Amino acid sequence: MRYDDSPPPPESASSISPDRRWFMRRSGLTIAAASLVPAALAAWVLTQALTGSGPDRQPPPAAAPLPASHATGLDGKPNTAAGATGATPTGTSRSAQPPAKGPLAGRTVVVDPGHNTGNFDHTAEIDRQVDIGTKRKECDTTGTTTNSGYMEAEFTLDVSRRLRTLLEAKGLKVVFTHETDRAWGPCIDERARIGNEAKADAVVSVHADGVSEGSRGYHVILPAEVKSGKADTAKIVEPSRLLGERIASNFGRTTGSSPANYLGSGTGLVIRDDLGGLNLSTRPKVFIECGNMRDSKDAAQLTNPQWRQKAAQGIADGIVGFLGG
């Protein structure tokens, strides 16, 4: 028996039994394997964290595109986030739109904001004559202004953007004839062509009138039956009338405005054969004059953002009703 703390003398290989040598080898392998397991597990966890892969080895989902409805706020100003809007050769439409849903999915509406703020600086270009079927007419005009200088083109673009947001919420595809993508125009024949090429289910051109003080109210302009040169409206007269009636009734109810007191005999509906945008259209189309910018009372409404939202809602409700939504 030993009484000190010194280690026992080492066993010689020859003095160890075969069974003991086998046990020592197995114990050493077990310890070595056990020491490798934590290192391998740590490496696997680090790989998953860096690659974002889960047990099914699928990569993480890509960032979702910006929904189309975010491209314009209720203040009418465009969202400048990448991908919010896009331009096409025949008009301006959304990019990265979410999948359309609802009873109106797959239907197309073309919205035509009347005039362009740049037209005032490009009078030579917009004075160029174009063929509207019944005659030749200026490519475009400047539009009117309020007495304080608020442009019709500013008004029409703001209402059109609000209208687009409302229509897209119903699942409709909305195409603009222009937005902020060009310095002037487009010409009236091009505006008609954009609606035709889009095979639009409805086209609405947004305007405001510029007549004398005391002339108040809205009116919707319908195409006359015209067949001359490039113009042939026979197929669109009736559906355009139905579209116009829907918009007029909804617009008046939503905004609280009355039909124009200076034309249309109080119906809010007027038929014309001298507008190229109507004469050259092959799709149901109307113009709406939302009020008179030269009348102080109408101008107070037209310059009010809350009223413009109501105007957009009234037009949207008319379009949706016409399309059966």
Question: How confident is the model at residue 325, as a pLDDT?
Answer: 84
pLDDT of 86 reads 32
What confidence score (pLDDT) does residue 16 get? 46
The torsion of the CA quartet 169, 170, 173, 175, rounded to 10 degrees, works out to -70
Q: Which residues of the chain have a pLDDT value below 70?
A: 1-90, 92-101
Task: Name the token pair of 123.
Answer: 């009078």
Q: What is the pLDDT of residue 91?
A: 75
- Quick one: pLDDT at residue 180? 86
CA distances from 260 to 67, 215, 300 (A): 38, 7, 16
Catalytic residue positions, numbered: 289
According to the model, what pLDDT value does residue 102 have? 76
pLDDT of residue 68: 36
pLDDT at position 302 is: 98
In this prediction the pTM is 0.72
Which CATH topology does 87-323 take?
Aminopeptidase (3.40.630)
If DSSP codes are grouped into helix, strand and coil, which group holds residue 82?
Answer: coil
Dist CA 245 CA 286 (whole Å): 10
Decide: 308 and 232 in contact? Cβ < 8 Å. Answer: no
Say if CB 201 and CB 322 are below 8 A apart.
no
pLDDT at 66: 33
The pLDDT of residue 18 is 46
What pLDDT shows up at residue 98? 57
Residue recorded with tokens 């083109």: 153
Comparing C-alpha atoms, which of 298, 277, 273 is closest to residue 213? 298
Whole-angstrom Cα distance, residue 315 to residue 268? 14
Q: Side-chain half-sphere of 158: how many Cα atoms within 13 Å?
A: 23
